Amino acid sequence: MTNAGLGLAVDVQDASGSQSVPEPRRIKNWVIHALSREALGEITVRVVTETEGSHLNEVYRHGVGPTNVLTFPAEFAVPGLVADAVPLGDIVVCAPVIEREANFQGIELDAHWAHMVIHGVLHLMGFDHQTSEDAVIMEAREKKLLEGLGFTDLFYET
């Protein structure tokens, strides 16, 4: 789905079977909110089970088990494609992990979903949290974006 005026296509795929996954339009709105208004391209957000999340984490990130969010920035531009078809990357969110974390941390489920989607988008934009300095910058941006969505006093570290 391309959003008029943005040149941005956000595709939401729900392969999780979970009843707690937010509506695709909400996830799309969180992606758009996190991006600059000049963003052009295509982002896929895929909501997965623990099995798929574990597989992706192990194969591509050499991690063990599922994690809350994985990002896969597009590594190449395809010549000849129109701007709104250029892939920016994929965000994979593991529904059962999001649900458990929200419950364990005692936070609103929607706030955690929004946070993880925004976290993934920021990774696609080049933000990272490998160093403490980078983490401070990324967390400040997340907090500002979450507050812009009305999620105040709910921020927590990733």
Q: Is 46 left (phi over 0), alpha (psi -120 to 50) or beta?
A: beta
Sheet containing 8-14: order of strands: 2-3, 8-14, 41-48, 87-94, 69-73
For residue 32, give the H/E element and its range: helix 24-34
What per-residue confidence (pLDDT) applies to 79? 55
The residue-averaged pLDDT of 80-90 equals 67
Q: Please give the sequence-ordered ranges of beta strands (E in DSSP) within the chain, or none if there are none.
A: 2-3, 8-14, 41-48, 69-73, 87-94
CA-to-CA distance for 109 and 117, rounded, in angstroms? 12
Largest CA distance in the chain: 48
Give backbone dihedrals phi and psi of 137, rounded to 5 degrees, phi first. -65, -45
Domains of the chain: 2-148 (3.40.390.30)
Which segment, 2-6, 7-11, 68-72, is predicted with the most confidence on average? 68-72
- The share of the chain scoring above pLDDT 90, in percent, equals 71
Each residue's pLDDT tens digit, 10-65: 999 999 999 999 999 999 999 999 986 667 788 999 999 999 999 999 999 999 99
Per DSSP, 139 falls in state H
DSSP structure string for 95-125: HHHHHHHHHHHT--HHHHHHHHHHHHHHHHT
